[in-house]
Structure 1
Amino acid sequence: MRVYLVGGAVRDELLGRPVADRDYVVVGATPEAMLAAGYQPVGRDFPVFLHPQTHEEYALARTERKTGHGYHGFAFHAAPAVTLEEDLARRDLTINAIARDADGTLIDPFHGQRDLHGKILRHVGPAFAEDPVRILRLARFAARFTDFTVAPETLALMRQMVAAGEVAHLVAERVWQELAKGLMEARPSRMFEILRECGALAVILPEVDALFGVPQRADYHPEIDAGIHTLMVIDQAARRGYPLTVRYAALCHDLGKATTPADILPRHIGHEGRSATLSQALGERLRVPGDCRDLALLMARHHGNIHRAADLRAATIVDLLEKCDALRRPERFQALLDTCRCDYTGRQGWEERDYTPPVLLLAALAAVNRVNAGKIAAESVDRGNIPERIRRARIQAVRQLLNEPADQPEQG
């Protein structure tokens, strides 16, 4: 039985990057031998075991054979006779097909070290085309290794896979898993650029793909193109270290601009409502977790009013805070303001501009929170009038903050 460190751990060690997880391949062993040595089985489709002390993953060397469409269309074969090179041959990229044995010797049959030095993402062999998830994985690695390029032959193969319809068979869970990981990389825009370049974006995320080529007003968006703007916004979220919820909301915030009637372009009147509808459909299709889906909907609906906060009257600000559930969910409201900051600074030449609406809206939220709703309720003779009295008190608190005359109309 021989054990080799493989995959990302070897790659990241060679790049001088931190190693998060270590995976091992075991050659010459059987499941029975692994169980006898105390390893715990966890693999459902093929033999994978957890080390009894370190709990790191040890997989028996295996080969695979394509049996159908999509991610699950494979039959796996694991046996003591399967060699290390056969196991490495089924991997996606050359930089992920390097192994290290116990004495530190590198086994690199597909020249992964050469591609690490050349900063190239290259597929190992024709088996790459059998698994459409590998398109997503490569695009995610492009977002992580921002100075790597995709080998021309690999990009050509990805385009062939899209044309053959393989990408259409991806299940929602795997798309979301890779999308979420890609959004959390150093420069997530590269993931979408690669997916668009090979044609996969139009299949996986048609709502996002449709944004490219849609014009915006140059005085508000010097970059003009709505798709380019969206990529700039998610990169701003990454630059600021924001969590996945913010990055996903940034991706979805302007989806409605792709459906703006051509006769009113480059204006996008009412795009917020259309963005919310498309964001809702996308979240359901990909089975996006609730926290990401909910923030994306709030961002789609309300980012326009948040940007215009300085021009809103007190009653409108109170309505905005209530619609965003800011009083009960202040941490989510802060995430919404963070996403709006990324939207504002995710424009060509605007990257370092100050964004002031959060200062005003958080001050308004503090003023609203100081209103004693319990006291108002206790002093109310007409119980049915309590919600309206609380609302009026909140509006008055914000009016005082804004120095707004009390005789102004409530709706601004």
Structure 2
Amino acid sequence: MQIYKVGGAVRDRLLGKPVTDIDWVVVGATTEEMLAKGFRPVGADFPVFLHPKSGEEYALARTERKNGRGYGGFIFHASPDVTLEEDLIRRDLTINAMAEDDQQNLTDPYHGQRDLEARLLRHVSPAFAEDPLRVLRVARFAARYAELGFTVAPETLELMRHLSESGELEALTAERSWKEIARALMEDQPQVFIEVLRECGALKVLMPEVDALFGVPQPEAHHPEIDTGVHTLSVLEQAALHKQPLTVRWACLLHDLGKGLTPEEEWPRHIAHEHKGLKLIKAVNERFKAPKDCQELALLVGKYHTHGHRALELKASTLLELLQSFDVYRRPQRFEEFIAACEMDARGRKGLEQRSYPQADYLRGAATAARSVAVQPLLEKGFKGPELGEAIKGERLKALKAYKEAASV
């Protein structure tokens, strides 16, 4: 039995980056031997075990053979005679196909270290094209390591293009796709993920609504970058720079989908794009079964982001409707995330990345004013039921009018 550290732990050590998760591969062992040493089996598809003390994953060396569509269409073979090299060749990228023994002696049969130095994301073997999930994984790695200058090797991009055209991407489950998308959006340069998907044709398959934004112009006076797709990437980039959570990043990606529906004769204006985009945002949410908080914020940002930009001009009654829509009294965090998405949208414009966004504090102040209305005095006056609701609404409207007057002085 020989045990090797493999994959990301080896890659990140060689890059000088922090190593978080460690995966191990065991060569020359049987399931029975692993169980005898106290390892606990997990996973129904192939032999993976948890270490009895550390809890880390140890997998028996295995080979795989394609026998169906999609990510799950494989037959795995694990036995003591599977070599380390045979196990490594089934991996996606050369930089993920290296192994180390306990003395840090490197096994690198597919030249991963050379590609690390060349800053290349290159597939290990033609079998790369058998797993459509790898298109998303490579795009995610491109986003993760963009700051180090990594790019996708041309021949790997060609395989990704072939996969995108083959129909295999459509066999991916929503759960697997979302897991990769969510991880990619939380990288330091998530816009690179979208760029790579677009370059290999996968964006058109997975998110045609986002792909349709490229080449759609906006008024230069408001959007110096003009192109709606370029703007979307910039908004995503700003969200990452400002360390926004996944909910905000997802909303940033989808906020302008309605502009992709504008007839060319109406360009560069996009009248009512907020309302038009809602059905598209809903479709993307459902396609990937995004978490509920991501779905809700994306729809709300899509519908109300121009309200956010025009916050200082809004009537008190419109402000109140906006606050009610977000249920700021019980869910203040969601409104805070809306404000963040609006600010990222404003900053995601060429040359305006550093411009202040006074609307943010103004909206926070409006929410505070509305929340400050006390319910108890109204109860003491005898209001109840629907009448109490109307009375509260009236008092909140008064509070917002007073807030607007004070803010305009």
TM-score for the superposition, normalised by structure 2: 0.97
Distance in 2 separating the partners of 1:258 and 1:103: 55
Question: Number of residues paired by the alignment?
Answer: 405
5+ residue gaps in structure 2?
A: none
CA displacement, residues 156-176 of structure 1 (integer Å, 9 cap, x when unaligned):
111112222211211111111
Structure 1 residues 387 and 107: CA distance shift in structure 2, 3 A: same
**Equivalent pair of 1:24/1:57 in contact (CA under 8 Å):** yes
Please tell me whether residue 196 in structure 1 is matched to residue 213 in structure 2. no
Q: What is the match of residue 19 of structure 2?
A: 19
**Equivalent pair of 2:48/2:59 in contact (CA under 8 Å):** yes
Cα distance, 1:384 vs structure 2: 4.0
Distance in 2 separating the partners of 1:383 and 1:79: 70
- Counting aligned pairs with the same residue, the percent is 55
Q: Map 1:46-61 onto structure 2 (within 5 A).
A: 46-61=46-61
Distance in 1 separating the partners of 2:240 and 2:406: 38
Give the match's secondary structure for 1:403: helix
CA displacement, residues 216-242 of structure 1 (integer Å, 9 cap, x when unaligned):
111111111111111111111111111
**Equivalent pair of 1:314/1:404 in contact (CA under 8 Å):** no
Q: What is the match of residue 287 of structure 1?
A: 289
Amino acid at match of 2:47: P
Q: What is the match of residue 81 of structure 1?
A: 81
Distance in 2 separating the partners of 1:200 and 1:380: 61
**Equivalent pair of 2:383/2:391 in contact (CA under 8 Å):** no
Cα distance, 1:370 vs structure 2: 1.3
CA displacement, residues 97-136 of structure 1 (integer Å, 9 cap, x when unaligned):
0100122100000000000000000000101000000010
**Equivalent pair of 2:47/2:59 in contact (CA under 8 Å):** yes
Cα distance, 1:374 vs structure 2: 2.9
With 383-392 and 278-287 compared, the bigger mean Cα shift is at 383-392
**Equivalent pair of 1:377/1:383 in contact (CA under 8 Å):** no
**Equivalent pair of 2:95/2:116 in contact (CA under 8 Å):** yes
Amino acid at match of 1:206: P
Cα distance, 1:68 vs structure 2: 0.9
Amino acid at match of 2:321: D
TM-score for the superposition, normalised by structure 1: 0.96
Give the match's secondary structure for 2:393: helix
Amino acid at match of 2:19: V
Q: What is the match of residue 160 of structure 1?
A: 162
Q: Map 1:195-214 onto structure 2 (within 5 A).
A: 195-214=197-216
Give the match's secondary structure for 1:64: strand
Cα distance, 1:383 vs structure 2: 5.2
**Equivalent pair of 1:371/1:393 in contact (CA under 8 Å):** yes
Structure 1 residues 336 and 31: CA distance shift in structure 2, 3 A: same
Amino acid at match of 1:281: A
Q: What is the match of residue 111 of structure 2?
A: 111
Distance in 2 separating the partners of 1:74 and 1:44: 13
Distance in 2 separating the partners of 1:247 and 1:164: 29
Q: What is the match of residue 408 of structure 1?
A: none
CA displacement, residues 178-205 of structure 1 (integer Å, 9 cap, x when unaligned):
0000000010011111111110111111
Distance in 2 separating the partners of 1:377 and 1:323: 24
Q: Map 1:174-193 onto structure 2 (within 5 A).
A: 174-193=176-195
Distance in 1 separating the partners of 2:220 and 2:85: 55
Give the match's secondary structure for 1:38: coil
RMSD value over aligned CA atoms?
Answer: 1.3
Distance in 2 separating the partners of 1:164 and 1:292: 30
Q: What is the match of residue 339 of structure 2?
A: 337
Structure 1 residues 242 and 384: CA distance shift in structure 2, 3 A: closer
Q: What is the match of residue 142 of structure 2?
A: 142
Amino acid at match of 1:100: E
Distance in 2 separating the partners of 1:44 and 1:232: 42
- The partner residue of 1:215 within 192, 214, 217 is 217
